[in-house]
């Protein structure tokens, strides 16, 4: 779990297997149980992303909770969201199979994952996306959601459909993970006393409930034209939650069937 913590004037690297030469060691941190390295700041202290930031290896680059506008508990959950991205990209042949989607259109930087020209402003696509989101928000049956998902596919080109599935698989499930982790943490032992003394501390149970309500609100109010790519996050999260409630074994096949969530 390589993490680059961006502070106001310095960046602190933890858990990186091959740190580059511009870092110097601060020694082993007793709480983390790992060596901490430091270099002068290069990235924005408001950044929160995962990319090959150090030595070509997938690294979580993150500012503090205060600088990223998150509570301490939400910051932890977001960090695990990003760690899930690290796991995704470590899967066998991830990059080769992403290239095989045929969506890069000459881009060799991976930027296509963010900038692919999906038809966000198409009225038929917007209606189909809204219908799917509404079905998920209302807690419709598996069959009803599957019908709306198929209706959306029918108004998309093959490339656009593959991009949609890629985003649902990658970003949607990572968003769902935040809720699942918060709920799991609420059933586990309490956080350390030092963490609970933080001025913005709130229980994982309360945060899990808030994340569930936020997801329902995002689905009910979703506008593809405004949200653009980010619209896929709540849709994918709700699909993952529905698959989980269905009692199926979707997670067992998640890493074998890259970039394609099963239909509910």
Q: What is the pLDDT of residues 14-34, one digit of tens each?
A: 999 999 999 999 999 998 999
Residue 172 DSSP class:
I
pLDDT above 70: residue 264 = no
Across the range 228-236, mean pLDDT stands at 98
- On the CB side of 263, how many CA atoms lie within 13 Å of its CA? 12
Three-state secondary structure call for residue 22: coil
Dump pLDDT digits (tens) for 175-221: 999 999 999 999 999 999 999 999 999 999 999 999 999 999 999 99
Full-model pTM:
0.93
User: Which residues, in sequence order, are bridge partners of residue 36?
Assistant: 14, 27
Question: How many Å from the N-terminal Cα to the C-terminal Cα in the chain?
Answer: 32
Confidence of residue 86 (pLDDT cuts 50, 70, 90): very high
Tokens of 254: 């998640």
Q: How far is CA 162 from CA 25, 36, 104, 140, in A?
A: 44, 40, 12, 24
d(CA 239, CA 219) in angstroms, rounded, equals 11
Tokens 């779990």 map to which residue? 1
How do the domains of the chain map onto residue ranges?
Answer: 1-69, 70-253
CA angle 241/71/221 to nearest 5° reads 45
Give the whole-angstrom CA distance, residue 16 versus residue 1.
Answer: 7
**Averaged pLDDT, 97-109:** 94
Element (H, E) at 63: strand 57-63
β-pair type (57-63, 3-6): parallel
Nearest-angstrom CA–CA distance, 27 and 231? 43
Strand partners for 39: 11
DSSP 231: G
**pLDDT score at 42:** 97
């Amino acid at each position: 779990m390589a993490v680059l913590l961006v502070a106001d004037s310095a960046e602190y690297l933890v858990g990186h297997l091959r740190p580059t030469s511009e870092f110097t060691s601060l020694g082993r941190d007793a709480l983390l149980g790992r060596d901490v390295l430091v270099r002068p700041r290069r990235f924005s202290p408001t950044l929160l992303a995962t990319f090959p930031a150090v030595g070509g290896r997938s690294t979580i680059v993150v500012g503090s909770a205060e600088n990223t506008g998150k509570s301490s508990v939400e910051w932890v959950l977001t960090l695990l969201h990003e760690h899930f991205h690290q796991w995704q990209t470590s899967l066998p042949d991830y990059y080769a199979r992403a290239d095989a989607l045929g969506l890069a259109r000459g881009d060799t930087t991976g930027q296509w994952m963010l900038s692919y020209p999906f038809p966000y402003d198409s009225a038929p696509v917007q209606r189909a996306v809204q219908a799917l989101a509404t079905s998920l928000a209302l807690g419709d049956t598996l069959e009803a959601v599957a019908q709306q998902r198929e209706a959306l596919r029918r108004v998309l080109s093959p490339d656009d459909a593959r991009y949609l599935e890629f985003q649902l698989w990658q970003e949607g499930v990572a968003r769902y993970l935040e809720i699942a982790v918060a709920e799991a943490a609420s059933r586990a032992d309490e956080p350390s006393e030092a963490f609970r003394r933080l001025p913005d501390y709130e229980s994982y149970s309360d945060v899990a409930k808030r994340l569930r309500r936020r997801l329902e609100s995002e689905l009910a109010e979703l506008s593809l034209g405004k949200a653009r790519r980010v619209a896929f996050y709540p849709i994918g999260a709700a699909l993952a939650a529905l698959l989980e409630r269905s009692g199926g074994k979707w997670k067992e096949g998640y890493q074998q069937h890259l970039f394609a969530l099963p239909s509910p």
